[in-house]
Amino acid sequence: MTKTKNIILYFFLLLTINLQGQTGEHPNLFLTKTDVTLIKQNLGNVQLFDKSYKALKYDIDIEIKKPIDVPIPKDPAGGYTHYRHKQNYKIMFGAGILWQISGEKKYAEFVKNMLLKYAKIYPKLPLHPVTKSYARGKLFWQQLNEAVWLVYTSIAYDCIYNYLSEKERNTIEKQLLFPYADFLSIKNPKVFNRIHNHGVWAVAAVGMTGFATGNKELIKRAFDGIGKARGEAGFYVQINKLFSPQGYYTEGPYYERYALTPYILFAQAVNNNEPEKHIFEYRDSVLQKAVRTTLQLTNQEGKFFPFNDAIKEMSLYTESMVNAVDIVYTQSPYNKELLSIVKQQNKVIVSGAGLKAAIDLQNNKAKPFNRESLQINDGNLGKQGAIGILRTSDNKNNITVLMKYASQGLGHGHFDRLSIMMYNNGKEILPDYGAVRYVNILYKEGGRYLPENKSWAKQTIAHNTIVIDSSSNFGGNYKIANKYHAKSIFFDAKIDKIQLMSAKETNAYKGVNLQRTIALINDTNIFKHPVLIDVFKILSDTSAHAIDLPYYYKGQFMHSSIDYKPQTTNKTQLGNKSGYQHLWINAIGQCSDTTFKFIFMNNNKFYSLTSNIAGNNKIYFVQTGAADPNFNLRCENGLIFHLNKIKNYVFANTIECFGFHNPASEITGNLSTSVKTTNVIFYNEEYCIIKITKSDNKNVYLAITDNESKTQHIVNTKQGKFEWQGMYHLFY
């Protein structure tokens, strides 16, 4: 039979087989009977699926040859027993799938024997001996891992259900699965009911175990929570409360990609067993939107934007995103752009969803996935600020600027209101530090968050945003920070060449109003090169403040227009608290009444930062790494604009990307910049007008307001009268 014929058969089968699984039928969680039939029919004809299937088989075949080890739990994350129990559920999950597809008994036997071993030790297991978590598990030091184990193990159990004798099922359910699910739910209602990714994992684990065993009580717990009124706990509530209407999860994309897994896996199980719930369409298809939003929160290299606690290497290539993309594509196969992501991921999950995605990709149905300029609202009603992303689409410079004007982002949030990060072609230009953690690396406190995560990464000074009086937003108090969010003033990315966003934060510092406006101009009629304009307005009620504005940059120092005093023989800290203690002073620059220009090179391009900072102010050239006795921090460089005792100020800074250096030919060129000086020519509570003088001495003016009530604006300045409509205008 030819490949095409075989693939066509797929669709016939879809029509002839009863598409909806029956409750009580097995498998019916990750795989359905229909899936298994289709996969068997198509094996050998769908390249990407075959490759993924072979990879799974290769890995599992190695693992199931080893003796089964179910050790008594002992180690923290990064240690052996932690690793072993994680490996065990992965192997059971894979072996369960392979049993269904290949029909080879060795896989079912392996899962059975391992489950029986767990059933033997589980009843007597005490709480895990490591006491570092607020919610200890039994197999693992924290209940989060405990729940993940059951999510995958319930799938494995579902896969071999029909292989087991009733006696075996009895043993496994009564001695392992039910008490395990009870531990995660009725024994720990606080975690189970918690509106948090830990809660979602527990809910999914318990619900999936319910479907796998036909235990309706467990399914009920998953939807209703423990001892709570309707609408206060359970899966629907987790969907309602943890996502914004666009599917944004407030902790940020690093945690969203992780949190997505239990949502998507459980939703698939719900859909297989109770299709009448239309769970993937629930709340205007928010689970599907969540996957697409998470993908929009990646840079050109597919890595997640690392705001809040985030490991910078994490990307859309991770297993949880392969899982989410395949399943969501299969739920709404009109989203052909998801197939482009499948292609990049270059693997699919071994399930009906993975098969569907692989077949459609093979039939050239993929459409390009465009990373767009967009504002992603935060809060379950979408009213708690947003993440704003501006992106140029340009062959040479694919610049992305992200501003965070969202809510705090729960416990993993950073105190970084109105902070920005900038990328070009997927490379960091103005980076966000991310988290201080080496996940699962034993040498670094077992892979947990390190002390510097709190003392540095979460602090405001670690981010590209304003710090008032050397103190973090909300005094670094998470409970207070969690009550407030920043606010979008305007977001306009309709015209690709001139995109703007503006946001306000009025709670981070008492009596201080902060408004930041970012314009991304990529129009050779205005500037020869792409220019980011960054206008940061600080208005204080009464007292004067010390103001710091850091720009961390990746790349090599090239040029500073002002004299500075370098610390060449003895290096001191910038401060002693709020993150300042982690910064070495490399040099101190003393401003005079001139424009400040700083040039650095990154990835063979040049970036010129031009600032209006003038008068008797200081610029600190800093480097991370102080107060770091265990060498947990990366060494990164930054500039900090420091104003001492000032009530109101407007920073008008630009960053121009220009020039090139070719290391193979050693040629450098195109070094003349467009921006000569930047100045604020007018500001008050309502308005702000900045002037950028170009190297040809022509001027560009940017007028900004935060007054949404008026449509027509007139401002008289010493440099003339400015008239415009709307929230901003660029005069050029």
Enumerate binding residues for a copy of itself (CB under 8 A): 78, 83, 86, 311, 313-315, 317-319, 438-444, 447, 556-559, 566, 568-573, 581, 584, 586-587, 599, 601, 621, 623, 625-631, 634-635, 661, 663-669, 671
Q: Would residue 412 show up in a list of annotated catalytic residues for this protein?
A: yes
For the bound state, the minimum distance from the C-beta of residue 265 to a copy of itself, rounded and expressed in Å, comes to 16
Q: Pick the catalytic residue: 255, 405, 552, 687?
A: 255
What distance in Å separates the CA atoms of residue 267 and residue 281, rounded to the nearest whole number? 10
Contact yes or no for 701/690 (Cβ under 8 A): yes
Which of 172/324 has CB closer to a copy of itself? 324
Cβ neighbours of 170 (radius 10 Å):
12
Which of 149/236 has CB closer to a copy of itself? 149
For the bound state, the minimum distance from the C-beta of residue 396 to a copy of itself, rounded and expressed in Å, comes to 15
What distance in Å separates the CA atoms of residue 726 and residue 238, rounded to the nearest whole number? 39
Half-sphere exposure of 276 (CA within 13 A, CB side): 2
Q: Would residue 255 show up in a list of annotated catalytic residues for this protein?
A: yes
Which of 544/671 has CB closer to a copy of itself? 671
697: three-class secondary structure by DSSP: coil
Half-sphere exposure of 507 (CA within 13 A, CB side): 17
Which of 378/452 has CB closer to a copy of itself? 452
What distance in Å separates the CA atoms of residue 405 and residue 402, rounded to the nearest whole number? 10
Per the rule left: phi > 0, alpha: psi between -120 and 50, beta: everything else, 252 is left
Which residues 6+ apart lie within 8 Å of 524 measured at CB?
none
Which of 87/170 has CB closer to a copy of itself? 87
For the bound state, the minimum distance from the C-beta of residue 722 to a copy of itself, rounded and expressed in Å, comes to 36
For the bound state, the minimum distance from the C-beta of residue 449 to a copy of itself, rounded and expressed in Å, comes to 14
Q: Pick the catalytic residue: 196, 412, 642, 713?
A: 412
Q: Which residues pair with 401 in a beta bridge?
A: 390, 422
Residue with tokens 């990060």: 421
What distance in Å separates the CA atoms of residue 514 and residue 540, rounded to the nearest whole number? 9
For the bound state, the minimum distance from the C-beta of residue 234 to a copy of itself, rounded and expressed in Å, comes to 28
User: CA triplet 330, 332, 337: central angle to 5 degrees?
Assistant: 90
For the bound state, the minimum distance from the C-beta of residue 262 to a copy of itself, rounded and expressed in Å, comes to 16
Question: Which residue pairs from 240-244 have beta carbons closer than 8 angstroms and sit at least 24 positions apart in sequence?
Answer: 240/283, 240/380, 241/195, 241/380, 242/195, 242/196, 242/197, 242/200, 242/380, 243/283, 243/286, 243/287, 243/289, 243/290, 243/380, 244/376, 244/377, 244/378, 244/379, 244/380, 244/381, 244/382, 244/384
For the bound state, the minimum distance from the C-beta of residue 553 to a copy of itself, rounded and expressed in Å, comes to 12
Q: SS3 string of 184-210?
A: HCCCCHHHHHCCCHHHHHHHHHHHHHH
Which of 78/352 has CB closer to a copy of itself? 78
Which of 319/685 has CB closer to a copy of itself? 319
Catalytic residues: 255, 412
